[in-house]
């Protein structure tokens, strides 16, 4: 008796991603956001600096989703990493497993993803392994291939931590690092920040992009610029 051929076809990772989400709209609130979008797309590593309210986190996360959706690349997932400053990367004292311990630090990134693709879609991508989270403290020995890594609040990481992170980059990956050197929770002297140190060391390297927003780029609420002015 002849065997029946299966009519099912294996869905590729990119096809599955497109089943879950739509391509994000390229909508920008000013020229600086569009320029940042382009820098993110054209470099393997991007360092972004700017005050609160300019959209640096939103644009980086939206660009990560856009690249994940695109067919003509090998990016298979988004990896979200944040420094757990309040716990000084010592997460063992917090209740629950590692993912639960990270939730308070990752929540801002989930909030952005919910705005970009929707909460249900974000949860599906995460459940199926297209979005992952990691603690910087546990990344020693990792090799990050085929991934868009998003690292926010990078001003709170030390030079040693930034070095650890950047040397995890493998093939077909992009690393997006962003922060505000004027709002470090860890370093009173901004020159001690790993993000500042990385800018000083890496600016002239090929495939490393540096982008800086200014107070005039604030789009969240005009009063933020006035508040920041009073704290100068």
At 165-209, the pLDDT tens digits run: 999 999 999 999 999 998 887 787 888 999 999 999 999 999 999
Q: What is the total count of domains within the chain? A: 1
What is the SS3 assignment for 12?
coil
In a domain, 28, yes or no: no
Residue at 21 is within a domain: no
Domain of 104: which CATH number? 3.40.50.300
Per the structure, the complete domain to which residue 152 belongs is given by 37-230
Query: Nearest to residue 57, comparing CAs of 65, 99, 193?
Result: 65
Q: Is residue 29 part of a domain?
A: no
Q: Give me the pLDDT at residue 10, please.
A: 66
Low-confidence ranges of the chain (pLDDT < 70): 1-10, 84-101, 228, 231-232
DSSP string, 18-73: HHH-PPPP---SSHHHHHHHHHHHH-SEEEEE--TTS-HHHHHHHHHHHHHH-SSS
Give domain status of residue 2, yes or no: no
The answer to the question of residue 120 being in a domain is yes
Please state, in angstroms and as integers, the Cα–Cα distance from residue 119 to each residue in 63, 123, 226, following that order. 18, 6, 33
Q: How many CB atoms lie within 10 A of CB 138?
A: 11
In a domain, 151, yes or no: yes
Q: Is residue 32 part of a domain?
A: no
Q: What is the DSSP letter of 155?
A: G
Question: Residue 6's pLDDT is what?
Answer: 43
In a domain, 18, yes or no: no
Least Cα distance to 112 among 157, 56, 180, 52 occurs for 56
∠ at Cα 54 (120, 44), nearest 5°? Answer: 75
Q: What is the pLDDT of residue 8?
A: 45
Note the pLDDT of residue 65.
97
Per DSSP, the three-state class of 105 is: helix
Q: CA–CA distance from 135 to each of 85, 139, 164 (Å)?
A: 11, 7, 12
């Amino acid at each position: 008796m002849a065997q029946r051929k299966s009519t099912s076809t294996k869905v590729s990772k990119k096809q599955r991603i497109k089943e879950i989400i739509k391509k994000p709209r390229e909508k920008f609130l000013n020229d600086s956001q569009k320029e940042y979008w382009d820098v993110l797309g054209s470099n393997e590593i991007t360092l972004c600096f700017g005050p609160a309210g300019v959209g640096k986190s939103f644009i980086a996360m939206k660009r990560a989703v856009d690249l994940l959706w695109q067919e003509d690349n090998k990016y298979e997932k988004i990896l979200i990493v944040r420094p757990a400053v309040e716990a000084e990367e010592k997460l063992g004292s917090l209740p629950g497993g590692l993912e639960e311990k990270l939730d308070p630090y990752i929540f801002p990134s989930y909030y952005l993803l919910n705005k970009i693709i929707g909460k249900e879609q974000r949860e599906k991508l995460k459940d199926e392994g297209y979005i992952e989270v990691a603690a910087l403290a546990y990344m020693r020995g990792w090799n990050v291939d085929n991934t868009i890594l998003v690292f926010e609040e990078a001003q709170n990481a030390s030079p040693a931590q930034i070095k650890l992170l950047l040397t995890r980059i493998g093939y077909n990956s992009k690393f997006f690092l962003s922060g505000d050197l004027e709002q470090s929770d860890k370093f009173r002297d901004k020159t001690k920040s790993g993000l500042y140190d990385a800018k000083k060391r890496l600016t002239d390297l090929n495939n490393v992009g540096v982008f800086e927003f200014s107070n005039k780029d604030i789009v969240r609420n005009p009063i933020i610029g006035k508040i920041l002015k009073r704290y100068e």
